Amino acid sequence: MYFYEDDGISNDYKNDVYEKTKIYVNGKERKTISFETCGSYKSNIDTIQLEVVSKEKGALWVSLDDIKLDRFLNESDWMKAEEGWFYNLSNRTINVKFKKPENRSFDVVVSTEKFDLIGMEATKSY
């Protein structure tokens, strides 16, 4: 999937004055959402919001380029924050928001690996 942006007015896109971001998802219990951007247009977007469908449960953690984002227990606290995530039980989505990185390529990882009710990773007992 691609996200495309330009000024919407001129023909500058013909001179590569646009921003095109390839977005792709890999994984199951640990989903990696990768963003790769090309083009010379300076985007006005400063915050990115994602909704990741997770019908069975919320996330254990969410990271942006290997830095874990803060978890919020309710939507109103999440809405006030600049970055973080929360699980919306009513529509079964993991809602993530973060400041758009300066890097032209970055990854968001959403872990729905097995964990107990207090958010500890489940361990195998032998």
123 inside domain: no
* pLDDT score recorded for residue 108: 98
* pLDDT score recorded for residue 13: 92
The DSSP symbol for 91 reads T
The DSSP symbol for 122 reads P
* Sign of CA pseudo-dihedral 30, 58, 75, 24: positive
Rounded Cα distance, 106 and 101, in Å = 7
* pLDDT score recorded for residue 56: 87
Residue 88, token pair as written in the block: 């919306």
- The tens-digit pLDDT sequence of the chain (126 residues) is 999 999 999 999 999 899 999 999 999 899 999 999 999 999 999 999 999 999 988 899 999 999 999 999 999 999 999 999 999 999 999 999 999 999 999 999 999 988 666 655 555 544
Q: What share of the chain is helix, strand, coil (3-state, %, to 5)?
A: 10, 45, 50
Q: Residue 88's domain spans which residues?
A: 2-111
* pLDDT score recorded for residue 31: 96
The DSSP symbol for 14 reads G
14 inside domain: yes
The model's pTM is 0.86
> What dihedral do alpha carbons 94, 31, 83, 17 form, nearest 10°?
-120
125 inside domain: no
42 inside domain: yes
Rounded Cα distance, 61 and 110, in Å = 6
Q: Which amino acid is at 41?
A: Y
- Whose tokens are 């006030």? That residue is 80
Sheet holding 93-99, edge to edge: 47-53, 93-99, 84-88
65 inside domain: yes
Could you tell me the CATH number of the domain that includes residue 91? 2.60.40.1180
49 inside domain: yes
* pLDDT score recorded for residue 118: 61
